[in-house]
Chain A
Amino acid sequence: MSILIDKNTKVITQGITGATGLFHAQGARDYGTQMVGGVTPGKGGTSVDGFPIFNTVEDAVNATGATASVIYVPPVGSADAIMEAVDAGIELVICITEGVPVLDMVKVQKYMQGRNCRLIGPNCPGVITPGECKIGIMPGYIHKPGPVGVVSRSGTLTYEAVWQLTTRDIGQTTCVGIGGDPVNGTSHLDVLKMFEADPATKAVIMIGEIGGDAEEQAAAYVRDHMTKPVAAFIAGATAPAGKRMGHAGAIISGGKGDAASKKAFLAECGISVADSPADMATALLNIWTP
């Protein structure tokens, strides 16, 4: 078992004829993901490296039966690409693109209300269920199948956590990168609920950052409803207020969202908080035995 994706998930790539889109579609296919085609307006009916191309997501869904889509479309067209996938009945949309305007995402969130679709991202590494399905830009080989769920706002820091687990011979059910933007499709809380409901997931690592209060909301859920052990790390303890730390969402503003207060609240909620990013797996093993 896993969350969001498994070996049966059929995936199309929006923006497949761009260098990035094609590179990662190939990487996902090599990993064993069912990459069934791609969408590039104007190139429908052709193919690239064995991937059939369609003009619209609707055409791609009708022809392939895809239920998931991954988006590598540049920022200017990302919001439109997400909405096109939603309209075509795609159930899981993963937007990798970095730099999507926040007001575009405000509109997308409104557009998605009441529809049977989940968005992951934007500005995220994607989702992987090790050994079964990889959708996104993460390196597949650092993962291995197992009992730990991982959810994070960042890319390489997620790899760091996964690597700490894998080198200790602890595998993962599913790793979800929710992205570093202030307005995104899926929150830490959403993913924790899915991990709680997934019988295969026995424990969770949650990686957060400064900015906003999404980590606190997730922590309150851990305190009140979660039966599985959760470890966490919050990046940005050394970040000064008012400076955006790379991610659009990673900014301490209005005296809120600093790492110290986040860590303190998480610990209050019964989460094992790592002070050092080198100790993410250790923090989990302090409260859980595989």
Chain B
Amino acid sequence: MNIHEYQAKAILRNFGVPVPDGHVVYNSNLARDWARRLGDGPWAVKAQIHAGGRGKGGGVKIAKTPDEVRQYAKDMFGMTLVTHQTGPEGKTVKRVLVENASRIADEFYVSFLVDRATDRVTLMASAEGGMDIEEVAAKTPEKLFFEAIDPVVGLTAFQARKVAFKLGLEMPQVKQAVPLLLNVYKAFVESDCSLLEINPMILTAEGNLLCIDAKLNFDENALFRHLRIRDLRDYDEEDPMEIEASQYDLSYIALDGNIGCMVNGAGLAMATMDIIKHTGGEPANFLDVGGGATIERVTEAFKIILSDNKVKGILVNIFGGIMKCDVIATGIIEAAKQVGVSIPLVVRLEGTNVEKGRKLLAESGLNIVSAEGMADAAEKIVKAVNG
């Protein structure tokens, strides 16, 4: 789960991490009034969308007067911001952050993430602040510094010092960096983040460290113990069909193709998308119906797939496993009847009682094509859709 920059900064502020004073607003007059309340300027006016690269698209401005703040905010509200992370359709700006701007003497990159290779939370830092860190990692990996963190003792002061010195900080700033990094680590762990990125952390002209942009991603599996973080979810930033699917514990991701897929198990679901592509078709979605393909779940899955009007055919691929195929077939038939599937439907069933299941599908009176094996299923649906 992602949150907005202003929400990320509020969390960091609660953990004692220095961030600029600011306020989120929903209209431009409030932007001007909050600017006056915050200080004497200049101010940063920042469009709040769940994507990086906002500056290049006109989503970040520095204003010298409260009226300028108002004007910039006015320009941003309702604008469609297209960045390298939004996709070509862009995202509409509905919230704007106004905050005190700082004079920047230097910029740094700091992040924490779970490193799969070491099974540890790792601190990653670079003196190349404000840049795209993937580019830094690719071109100048020697400019990236890492510290793997022991989960029992947490980030230690000496590790924070090591990183601060490697970033080239002077002793007064090293003394600021140590509590700053320790507190960011604390925020990461106590909020169950999967990624916490500060880019940039700046050195102000006055000699203070300040985190002027922050991105937090949360571990979905840990949200059950973070009610307040779940409150921060902005549904406007998510695909409506993915939200609908999550209400039924279906794992759904929309793609650009025209063949809808319904599969049990994430690995098999990915593999089903792959074989459609391999056979010359284009999958319209990833959809994992989970272990129990009940009538209710299959019905909801059909509804979600069909609500995408690009879909010209559906491939159902269920490896029955513990569940019996005749039960699954009954579920598919009931669901197809309820929803009224009028496009080609290819069903591949495997598992216990597979013959009974195929017989049920054949005798259902519905336009269902039965397939044997994944290759056969993929060929049949691609042929039905592409002709």
A interface with B by C-beta (< 8 Å): 27, 75-76, 99-107, 109-110, 137-139, 141-142, 152-160, 163, 180, 182-183, 207, 209-210, 212-214, 233, 235-240, 242-250, 254-255, 259, 275-279
Chain B contacts for A245, CB-based, 8 A: 253, 266, 269-270, 286
Cα(A102)–Cα(B255), bound, Å: 27
A246 contact set on B, CB distance < 8 A: 251, 265-267, 269-270, 286, 288
The answer for the CA separation of A239 and B239 in the assembled complex, in Å, is: 16
Q: List 11 A-B contacts (CB under 8 A).
A: A75-B221, A100-B221, A139-B322, A157-B265, A157-B270, A183-B119, A212-B117, A243-B286, A246-B265, A276-B275, A278-B375
Q: Are B265 and A154 in contact (CB under 8 A)?
A: yes
Complexed CA–CA distance, A236 and B272 (Å): 9
For A254, list chain B residues within 8 Å (CB): 134, 137
- Chain B binding surface SS class: mixed
| 9 nearest A-B pairs in the assembled complex, by CB-CB distance | A154-B267, A246-B266, A156-B265, A157-B267, A101-B222, A277-B271, A278-B375, A156-B268, A235-B270
Contacts of B128 in A (CB 8 A): none
- On whether A214 and B222 interact (CB within 8 A), knowing A139-B322, A156-B319, A277-B271, the answer reads no
Q: Within the assembled complex, what's the spacing in Å between the Cα atoms of A254 and B52?
A: 13
Pick from A155, A159, A212, A255: contact of B116, CB below 8 A: A212
Q: In angstroms, how far is the closest chain B Cβ from the Cβ of A241?
A: 10
The yes or no answer to B150 lying at the interface (CB within 8 A) is yes
| Inter-chain contacts of B227 with A (CB < 8 A) | none
Taking a contact as CB atoms closer than 8 A, the residue among A102, A105, A160, A163 that contacts B271 in the complex is A160
A183 CB contacts on chain B under 8 angstroms: 114, 116, 119
Q: Which residues of A contact B192 (CB under 8 A)?
A: 101-103
B255 A238 Cβ-Cβ under 8 A: yes
How close is B91's CB to chain A, nearest CB, in angstroms? 14
Chain B residues contacting A249 (CB-CB under 8 Å) are 116
Among B116, B264, B274, B350, point to the contact of A276 (Cβ < 8 A).
Answer: B274
Chain A residues near B268 (CB, 8 Å)? Answer: 154-157, 159-160, 235, 277
Query: Is A106 within 8 A of B253, CB to CB?
Result: no
Q: How many whole Å from B151's CB to the nearest CB in chain A?
A: 5
Q: Give CA–CA (A233, B270) in the complex, Å.
A: 11
B interface residues, tally (CB under 8 Å): 57
Measured between beta carbons, the chain A residues less than 8 angstroms from B251 are: 246
Residue interface mask B85-129, A partner, CB < 8 A = 1: 100000000000000000000000000001011011100000000
The answer to whether B151 and A107 have CB atoms under 8 Å apart is: yes
User: Measured between alpha carbons, how far is A102 from B195 in the docked complex, in Å?
Assistant: 12
Knowing A139-B351, A238-B283 touch, does A214 contact B116 (C-beta < 8 A)? yes
In the complex, which residues of chain A have a beta carbon less than 8 angstroms from the beta carbon of B121?
103, 106
A215 nearest CB across to chain B (Å) = 12
Report how far A104 CA is from B192 CA in the complex, Å: 9
Nearest A residue (CB) for B278: A276
A103 & B219 in contact (Cβ 8 Å cutoff) = yes
Q: Does B373 contact A (CB under 8 A)?
A: yes
Partner of B266, one of A109, A180, A233, A242: A180
Distance (Å) between the CB of A109 and the closest chain B CB? 4
Chain A nearest CB from B307 CB (Å) reads: 19
B352 to chain A, nearest CB (A): 7
Whether B270 pairs with A106 at a CB distance below 8 angstroms is: no
Minimum CB–CB distance for B254 against chain A, Å? 9
CB-based contact B219/A101 at 8 Å: yes
**Is there an interface contact between B265 and A155, defined as CB atoms closer than 8 Å?**
yes
A56 to B351, CA, bound (A): 37
A239 touches B286 (CB 8 A): yes
In the complex, residue of chain A having the shortest beta-carbon distance to the beta carbon of B286: A245
Chain A: minimal CB distance from B242 (Å) = 10
CB-based contact B221/A207 at 8 Å: no
- Given A209-B270, A238-B283, A245-B253, 14 more pairs with CB closer than 8 A: A103-B189, A106-B114, A106-B119, A106-B121, A110-B152, A142-B321, A155-B265, A155-B321, A157-B267, A212-B116, A238-B255, A240-B255, A248-B219, A259-B274
**Which residues of chain B are within 8 angstroms of A141 by Cβ–Cβ distance?**
352
Q: Is the CB of A159 within 8 A of B321?
A: yes
Check A109 against B270 for contact (C-beta < 8 Å). Answer: no
**CB-CB < 8 A to B220: which residues of A?**
244, 248
Q: Flag if A277 contacts B275 (CB, 8 Å).
A: yes
